[in-house]
Amino acid sequence: MEGGGSGRRVVAVGAGLAGLGAARRLCGHGSLLLLEAAGRVGGRVCTRPFASGLAEMGAHWIHGPSPGNPVFQLATGYSLLGPEAAREENQQVEVGGHPFLPSVTYGSSGKALSPTAVSEARHLFDTLLESARTFQGTKELPAPSVGQYLRGEIAQRVPALGEGREDARRLQLAVLAACLKLECCISGTHSMDLVALEPFGEYVSLPGLDCTFPGGYSSLPDCMLSALPEGTVLLNKAVRTIQWKGSFREEGDEARNFPVRVECEDGDAFLADHVIVTVPLGFLKEHHQDFFQPPLPQRKVEAIRRLGFGTNNKIFLEFEKPFWDPQQQLLEVVWEDESPLEEPRTDLEANWFKKLIGFVVLQPPEQHGHVLCGFIAGKESEYMETLSDEEVLGTMTRLLRMLTGNPHLPAPRSVLRSRWHSAPYTRGSYSYVAVGSSGDDIDALAQPLPEDPEDPRPLQLLFAGEATHRTFYSTTHGALLSGWREAERLNQFFQAPSPAPRL
Ligand code: 6YU
């Protein structure tokens, strides 16, 4: 191999957007191998055929498709986006992470709710949520978590809700409870009471009207894979352990020794100078003690433990015919007897489906058929993963019959759902900054090892993945940027003049 870093061996673990992005930027420097546990690339970007179209089991939208978003730029470069996404007006829209979709809100009593009442409560929620983003650097916080802060603010406003009318007030509270569930899906958490208030504003929303990939989100990792030299990625190669700070020699080559040895579950082993670890935080939480030998330093372990990693799943339902109006793109659900000021129900078996926030209508129907995509977060979502397809389909049918007030509503033709919590190499959906953690933990997670800058064998372990990006965590663009960041770190190291040998 030619160029800086010549002869250096780099192994990346995980072929999601972080791993693929890193690999692309490292091409041409030394030898590079990307090891992926699954039989496909993309990780939490995963498109599957469903009905007459496609279903996104993981990432759905490009959040903030605008020139500052590298996923948007890359997808545009590969011509993967539709004409709408390319329109400049759409790239300038500020949606603050909540794109507007024409919607109908079903109440649990089987009637569509008044749009005015719903939007009044939503407007209040959005205002409070905006204020929850203003506490960065504040020492005296009104509450430790976003959920507690929001509920405190809502409690203060109860007398004014619904202009003093009891039934109107109840409805406002019920819509606010539904808003909290939506926020759980967005943050990928069981409860907003788990999400830290002080750093909440550190997450950055980019401008742009969220868009999807007409040919599926997986078209992006597939293009990224094609751009790599053949043989760079090894699929079905789950890594069992990463030994670092070692001195490993290859048979027949006594002259060289490598500080890192990556051992796979199938017994294969690879020696390397540098390993970029991009496995999800959920996997690290479960396996870090045995995955790294010697174990990670305490600061890194604390960051892994403290940062949050929750579950957000999707339930796709295919219908013979739509029961919704053609212009409706979002069917929301409000449980009219709920309030954010009351303790949530804990009996998962009886109540899991009440955490579902509603359904996005997949567009356009000519491509997808008549498909709804439901979103559900938290422990209820993890419970849903334990049920059979028949049980989920049966529960969804009963729920929709209740919401529409139509006991004869035909059952969906088929169902498909994600199960991110059970996925052994993911163990959840995405990261959030949990109570007790902060953006400093994200930086600590991203810190390469060994920590000592004077170590003669630096950058043995580098860390990328969405959970290592301080302002774009939980997104595809955060993942991609983190991969580029670590590749750049190595490229700079390769280009730097070698230090004089220490005497
Ligand atoms: C986005 C969106 N989106 C919905 C759902 C999910 C996610 N995201 P990867 O996991 O991809 O790769 C790691 C690889 O490592 C993987 O292939 C493993 O198999 C492999 N591996 C693990 N262990 C291994 C081992 N031992 N050996 C070898 N290999 C191993 N993001 O931009 N738009 O609409 C959504 C959504 C259901 C599950 C999403 C979305 C998140 C992204 O999918 C995710 O961040 C990246 O794909 C991760 O890439 P990676 O490379 O890091 O890991 C204030 C505040 C709020 C904060 N949140 C607001 C933003 C909301 C996020 N949006 C979510 C919404 C949806 C619907």
pLDDT score of 47: 98
Distances (CA, A) of 39 to 17, 36, 268, 270, 284: 15, 8, 17, 19, 20
**Atom of ligand 1 lying closest to residue 477 CA:** 32
Mean per-residue pLDDT over the chain, rounded = 94
- State yes or no: pLDDT of 503 exceeds 90: no
pLDDT score of 498: 65
- State yes or no: pLDDT of 306 exceeds 70: yes
- State yes or no: pLDDT of 4 exceeds 60: no
CA 141 / ligand 1 centre spacing (Å)? 31
pLDDT score of 7: 82
Domains and CATH numbers, the chain: 4-46+221-308+428-495 (3.50.50.60), 100-209+312-417 (3.90.660.10)
Distance between CA atoms of 354 and 108, rounded to whole angstroms?
10
For ligand 1, mutation pick of 74, 287, 420, 475 (most atoms within 8 Å of CB)? 475
- State yes or no: pLDDT of 258 exceeds 80: yes
As a three-state string, the secondary structure of 256-284 is EEECEEEEECCCCEEEECEEEECCCHHHH
Q: What is the mean pLDDT of residues 391-413?
A: 98
Share of the chain above pLDDT 90, in %: 88
Beta-bridge partners for 330: 103, 360
pLDDT score of 254: 86
The enclosing H or E element of 361 equals: strand 358-361
Angle formed by the axes of helices 166-187 and 146-157, to 10°?
A: 170
User: Which residue's CA lies nearest to atom 26 of ligand 1?
Assistant: 239
**Atom of ligand 1 lying closest to residue 482 CA:** 52
User: Which residue's CA lies nearest to atom 2 of ligand 1?
Assistant: 59
User: Which residue's CA lies nearest to atom 46 of ligand 1?
Assistant: 476
Q: What are the helix (H) ranges across 158-218?
A: 166-187
What is the phi/psi pair of residue 295, to 5°? -60, 160
Structure confidence at residue 81 as a pLDDT band (50, 70, 90): very high
Residue carrying structure tokens 């699929």: 235
Q: Six-digit token pair at 481?
A: 């940027």
CA 324 / ligand 1 centre spacing (Å)? 31
Beta-bridge partners for 274: 10
pLDDT score of 499: 58
pLDDT score of 98: 60
More confident residue, 378 or 29: 378
Structure confidence at residue 202 as a pLDDT band (50, 70, 90): very high
**Atom of ligand 1 lying closest to residue 483 CA:** 51
pLDDT score of 502: 43
Structure confidence at residue 6 as a pLDDT band (50, 70, 90): low
- State yes or no: pLDDT of 168 exceeds 50: yes
pLDDT score of 5: 58
CA 308 / ligand 1 centre spacing (Å)? 14
Q: What is the mean pLDDT of residues 130-155?
A: 97
pLDDT by residue (tens digit) across 348-383? Answer: 999 999 999 999 999 999 999 999 999 999 999 999
CA 468 / ligand 1 centre spacing (Å)? 12
64 C-beta closer than 6 A to ligand 1: no
Q: What is the mean pLDDT of residues 378-401?
A: 98
User: Which residue's CA lies nearest to atom 6 of ligand 1?
Assistant: 58
CA 428 / ligand 1 centre spacing (Å)? 9
Q: What is the mean pLDDT of residues 456-460?
A: 96
Distance between CA atoms of 160 and 418, rounded to whole angstroms?
41
Distance between CA atoms of 426 and 240, rounded to whole angstroms?
14
pLDDT score of 22: 98
Contact 446, 259 (CB under 8 A): no
Contact 297, 415 (CB under 8 A): no
Greatest pairwise CA separation for the chain in angstroms: 84
196 C-beta closer than 6 A to ligand 1: no
